[in-house]
Structure 1
Amino acid sequence: MAQINETAVEQNLNIGIADQDREGVVSILTSLLSDEYVLYTKTRNYHWNVVSPHFNDYHKFFEGQYGEIEVIIDDIAERIRQLGGKAIATLDELKSHARLPEHPGQYPTDREMFANLVSDQESIIRNLREDLEKSDKSFHDMGTSDFLTGLMEQHEKMLWMLRATAPTS
């Protein structure tokens, strides 16, 4: 769990969730925010660097995906703020909380790009399943659990689209 100090989570916010439980939820959301930034950056990188006979289609497809992730990032940061937390936003902070791998200096083929994004989406979905359960059962925050359920559904749809669009040969 990420270290959250008193300045990172406002104390005595009276919304029916104990301060320590809000700290736990903010920690979950901080890791998710970091993972979403990695996925966003990777998808944007692929948008810029894809080379394929289907370049135009893939270029536009990746743009649509990173656009959806950008909205998700903003929603997560705002959820953190709603809970009295501070949303991290520097690359160093994001990197230190991310669970998804990066691949610096690599320029994969179009097939590898899709495979990497499929793997990352699956990881995010698995983490969301665990995190939403923990938000509800361990930290007594049904609102965040519901929020994470919605994000999981969005990522499941994005995964479906990735699999349906991925090159087969």
Structure 2
Amino acid sequence: MAQHGDHATAAPGLMQSDLNSSGVTELEGELLGLLADTFTLYLKTKNFHWHMRGRHFRDYHLLLDEHADQVFAMTDDIAERSRKLGAATLRSIGDISRHRRLRDSDADDITPMKMLSELLSDNRQLTRFMRATHEVCERHNDVATASLIEVWIDQAERRAWFLVEIVSGMVSEGSI
């Protein structure tokens, strides 16, 4: 097995994909970051789902549960896509923390407005990361990964749209 950072991948002659080894290596790094960010967003969304409160508790609680389920569903697809390419994927919570770019939240007391605003920002940032990964896919002619990413971008933009509408409404109502 050849080593890429802390992750082992198949030797060049045993590649599972017809992409060249430098493409697989670059995609492996992109997918590790994307997977770590996805886990980070999932946990943050569940955290805020569990700690939501206020006048619109039920609506926000249910929305964040839906968002968390959608984000979590991406994790297996990302990891399995990496393995299909012959690359490695995340192995632990420590691995997630080494590769993530999104920030987590462990604040004790956070308002619903702050929670939803953070999730809006994180979904937008995740979309930017996915677009960057999509560009790497295009460079290496990895149409399968690019296709998955296009669906995930659409999902993230939908989550952001819902959050924008809620946060905008909170601001106009003076609920901040």
TM over 0.5: yes
Aligned length: 166
How far, CA to CA, are the matches of 1:6 and 1:45 in structure 2? 29
How far, CA to CA, are the matches of 1:95 and 1:59 in structure 2? 26
Q: Counterpart of 1:158 in 2: which secondary structure?
A: helix
How far, CA to CA, are the matches of 2:115 and 2:61 in structure 1? 12
Report whether the alignment pairs 1:10 with 2:10.
Answer: yes
How far, CA to CA, are the matches of 1:32 and 1:123 in structure 2? 11
Shift in alpha-carbon separation, 1:7–1:57, aligned structure 2, 3 A: closer
Residue number in structure 2 paired with 1:47: 49
Residue number in structure 2 paired with 1:23: 25
Is this contact kept in 2: 1:136–1:144, CA < 8 A? no
Task: Select between 20-29 and 35-44 the one with higher mean Cα deviation.
Answer: 20-29
Q: Which runs of 5+ in 1 are unaligned?
A: none
CA deviation after TM superposition for structure 1 residue 157, in Å:
1.2
Percent identity, aligned pairs only?
27
Shift in alpha-carbon separation, 1:140–1:158, aligned structure 2, 3 A: same
Residue number in structure 2 paired with 1:90: 92
Letter in 1 for 2:135: E
Task: Select between 116-125 and 158-167 the one with higher mean Cα deviation.
Answer: 158-167
How far, CA to CA, are the matches of 1:97 and 1:6 in structure 2? 11
Is this contact kept in 1: 2:7–2:89, CA < 8 A? no
Report whether the alignment pairs 1:68 with 2:76.
Answer: no
How far, CA to CA, are the matches of 2:6 and 2:59 in structure 1? 48
C-alpha RMSD over aligned residues: 1.9
Instruction: Give the TM-score taking structure 1 as reference length.
Output: 0.89
